[in-house]
A and B are shown apart, each in its own frame.
Chain A
Amino acid sequence: MAVKTIAGVEVKVTEDGYLEDMTQWNKEIAKEIAKELGIELTDKHFEVINYLRNRTIAKEALTIRSVGKSGIVDIKQLYELFPKGPLKFSSKIAGIPKPTSCI
């Protein structure tokens, strides 16, 4: 575990750069993590991010399949929003733990 300053806030992060505590998250932190991953966040990105955060609070396991059935984006659009990391990058930006699902 390490402490990192993201968008002016000191946050606890894992070795992989995922937030340890999802309550430390805010939109500015999301934007800065996204920038490191080469992603410029749009409203659509935030819709997905909010969905992921809500599902995590509800303690549901996340898969790209479930996001694809959320009604917000289909799987193809999810890949377009978060290229090369539809679940990993979106989770990182959403400030939630690294996904543990295989699908």
Chain B
Amino acid sequence: METKEKKPLEKVCIICAKGNLEDVYASLVMANGAVMEGIETNLFFTFFGLEGITKKSMNHLHTATTGNPAMKMPGGLPFPTMLGGLPGVESAVSSMMRKQMDELGMPPVDEFLEMITAGGGTIYACKLAVDMFKLTKEDLSDEVKDIITIGEFYELCDGDRTQIIFT
């Protein structure tokens, strides 16, 4: 019988570079899932991904209602792009989506970040992007450990059972 040695992941470094609701949640679910599996986890927010850790915006993230061919009307019909561009539509659709996620037991972003750090995961913000958007540490969630450079991020990615995931 063939036996294969398992080499489980030891560390993941997840990069969240987009600020759409679904992009931020993809990163959060993956990071939290890794922490729950006992995998060392670093979560790095950059560019528009910073929306997900900025106190003012993190619990009000939007999903794009234009340029999103996967978007459907309730009932499953395609969502007309023209409709998505009307004022207030994106906001309404996004809040509907957040409500549905809440019903499934998915936590709001601030609570999700707390869950990740409670399990030992670490959250970082990208220095270049923070400077570009003229943010400070005070604008960011208290769960953010530090604002670091890309070089420092790569230093965190050492180890031969480490994976970098870009969402």
Contacts and interface: CB of A to CB of B under 8 A. Distances in A.
A81 interface: no
A103 interface: yes
Interface residues of A, number: 19
A65 interface: yes
Given A61-B105, A85-B37, A85-B38, A103 B119 contact: no
A63 B33 CA distance: 11
A103 B38 contact: no
Contact of B36 (A66, A76, A85): A85
Interface residues of B, number: 15
A76 B116 CA distance: 9
Contacts of A85: 36-38
Contact of B118 (A63, A76, A83, A87): A76
Contact of A79 (B105, B111, B119): B119
Interface string A71-93: 00011100100011111100000
A39 B107 CA distance: 29
A82 to B, nearest CB: 10
Contact of B115 (A65, A101, A102): A65
A88 B8 CA distance: 16
Contacts of A76: 118-119
Contacts of A63: 105
Given A65-B115, A68-B115, 12 more contacts: A61-B105, A64-B36, A74-B118, A75-B114, A76-B118, A83-B38, A84-B37, A86-B36, A87-B36, A88-B37, A102-B29, A103-B105
